[in-house]
Amino acid sequence: MFQNNPLLAQLKKSLHAKTPRAEGIVKSTERGFGFLEIDMQKSYFIPPKNMKKVMHGDRIIAKLKIEKDREIAEPEKLIEPFLRRFVGKIEIKDNKCFIIPDYPFLKDLIICNANKILLDNLRTGDWVEAQLIKHKLKGDQIFYAELIKKIAKKNDSMVPWLVTLARHNLDKKQPSVQKNDISFQDTSNRKDLTHLDFITIDNGHTKDIDDALFIEENSDGNLCLTVAIADPTAYIEEDSRLDVIASQRMFTNYLPGLNIPMLPRYLSEDICSLNPYKNRPILGCQTIILKDGSISKNTNFFLGWIKSKAKLSYDNVSDWIEKSGAWIPENKSIANQIVLLHRLCLLRIKWRRLHAILFKDSIEYRFDLSETGQVLNVLVEKRRIAHKIIEESMIIANVSAAELLSKKLGFGIYNVHAGFDSINAEHVVSFLKNYQLKFTSKEITTLPGFCKLRQVLNILSNTYIDSRIRRFQSFGDFSIVPAPHFALGFPVYATWTSPIRKYSDMINHRLLKSIIQNKKARQPNEEIKFKINDQRRRNRIAEREVSDWLYVLFLQQKEYRDNKFNAEIIDITRSGMRARLIENGANVFIPGTFLHSVREELHFNIEKGIVLINGSVQYQVSDIISVVLQDIRLENRNIIAKPNF
């Protein structure tokens, strides 16, 4: 009698409309309950019974209700599942196959199926790729996944790399191309510079060498620098199969202990690599560096042949310049090249300190791995003078290329950085007033004003102030039209010096060649910058995840368990602090419970990067504190530490 009653239907619709709802992301906890996170400030409690319908990370719409005087969220509609295609570990129980997703807050077994051949080849603990095909909030009785393929056996030494690459759908091997498919395609006239004493300076283990340098002093005392860059586009036709593959990969993916090249190794490490005593085609840039360190407008780009006379390492060159170590250049000509390059480097550093932005010296960490992938040690590598020589030379070449592309074409692949937007500029000005630093928002949104601010901050050398200011800065980006790079301090900047590692540099190579040869250039489309950004982001996440995995394996060893470490606080979160161990670069998390026993007296100010106890600042970003490792969790690759009071 009530089944088709229009009044009842209208009443239900009215009640439905009056029930408040909210859309957000599900955040689960280890204790079974969860929260519907609307934004950084607002969240709703999800009871354990309701959490059984959803997964951590799901975007949902939930009804908001009052239960026992508490506002709760009841999941109603799935907007976007957290799991789609995912990786996890297999568990075989009672002749049934289950998968545990490899995510920190997803611990429940998901039943799954696969073809018989795949199932017969699986054992508990093996890693697989799967697709979630049933979800409880979509009306299904269970969560259900379909296995796609096996990634690795449980005890495979390559698990950290294979699982991470599979998770982000990244290539695991070099492009599959036959050597006889690759041939020298270029018929251009090239300058023969094989008699000149070009040298390369790289890490000792580098095989894909893409830049070589030659320098001489002119009669007027100015320095003439020639930067020669490997020329893979001489072998790769535009729109060819290999070119399409490179455009999809975008970068050589450098992971700890493993790199997956953008181009076949036969190209990147052999016939294109600027190996010593080998004739190689190059794209060159010759420019004059004046006595004040500025770049002359008289820059020449050309195609040529070179033959590198020496493959040098950063450490050996730095030792020789610093008059330490036993290494010496093999002849006077190479020694003279190093001396002149050192002089150029110092001139450019002085010029950039006054007119642009100079980088602070940084520390890098490198895993020392055995042949089976075991972490033997973590090595600390500092930027030394030889690194700076190459850096300054490449900056000269990239600035010169950007100016030429802008002048002749008006397009290319430009590296850009917007500095501060108008709102963040106001925040910066307000923050700086606390330290008697007077700037205006109008001033620091201009390139000269931004440079002045960074120069002042470099002199001040306060890591806390510097970290807060960086939070307000824009992220680096790409543009197909000229635009400033505030973070470097240049009106235009375009890289072309790593074409065997970066596809964007290959694009700029072709554009520079079109100018040299006076040919029509193909303008890149707007979509390319989004593809570059997306691939760069995925590569960086993969690098970080592999590093986190290796750090956990390394620090699990007994000799590190009770060690005290100095750590720099790098971030404040809603529930604790993140810090980096200075000795080896591992990131650790320090929960608030280890900072103070009374939660109500503890306050985390994310915006200011400080931790207050009873209203008094106890910790801030950039502080160096002593910590001990409390817990090392392989299942989610987290390292928990506590202050060593």
Give the active site residues.
202, 208, 210-211, 314, 501
State the DSSP string of 322-358.
Answer: TT-SS---SSHHHHHHHHHHHHHHHHHHHHHHHHS-P
Residue with tokens 């720099």: 568
C-alpha–C-alpha distance, residues 378 and 376, integer Å: 7
What residues contact 124, with CB distance under 8 A and at least 6 apart?
Answer: 90, 91, 92, 154
Question: Nearest-5° angle of CA 595, CA 601, CA 606?
Answer: 70
C-alpha–C-alpha distance, residues 52 and 33, integer Å: 9
Q: Are strands 110-113 and 144-152 parallel, antiparallel or unpaired?
A: parallel
C-beta separation of 344 from 289 below 8 A? yes
Q: Which two tokens stand for residue 561?
A: 């368990």
Q: Which three-class secondary structure state does DSSP give residue 553?
A: helix
C-beta separation of 46 from 58 below 8 A? no
Q: Which two tokens stand for residue 97?
A: 């196959």
Q: Which three-class secondary structure state does DSSP give residue 111?
A: strand
What residues contact 397, with CB distance under 8 A and at least 6 apart?
Answer: 227, 229, 285, 287, 496, 497
C-beta separation of 89 from 112 below 8 A? no
Range 48-53, long-range pairs (CB < 8 A, 24+ positions): 50/74, 50/75, 51/26, 52/136, 53/136, 53/137
Residue with tokens 């299942």: 635
Strand order in the sheet with 223-230: 191-192, 300-307, 279-289, 223-230, 211-217, 199-202, 310-313
Q: Which two tokens stand for residue 347?
A: 């001139």
C-alpha–C-alpha distance, residues 201 and 239, integer Å: 32
Query: Cβ of 363: how many Cβ atoms within 10 Å?
Result: 11
C-beta separation of 250 from 536 below 8 A? yes
C-beta separation of 529 from 477 below 8 A? yes
Count Cα atoms within 13 angstroms, Cβ side, for 437. Answer: 22
Residue with tokens 């300058």: 191
Q: Which two tokens stand for residue 354?
A: 């006054």
C-alpha–C-alpha distance, residues 476 and 454, integer Å: 16
C-beta separation of 418 from 486 below 8 A? yes
What residues contact 425, with CB distance under 8 A and at least 6 apart?
Answer: 441, 442, 444, 445, 472
C-beta separation of 131 from 112 below 8 A? no
Strand order in the sheet with 602-605: 602-605, 610-613, 616-620
Helices (H), 415-494: 422-433, 441-444, 447-460, 463-472
Written as one letter, the residue type at 292 is: D
The neighbouring-strand residues paired with 147 are 130
Number of residues that make up the chain: 645
C-beta separation of 620 from 569 below 8 A? yes
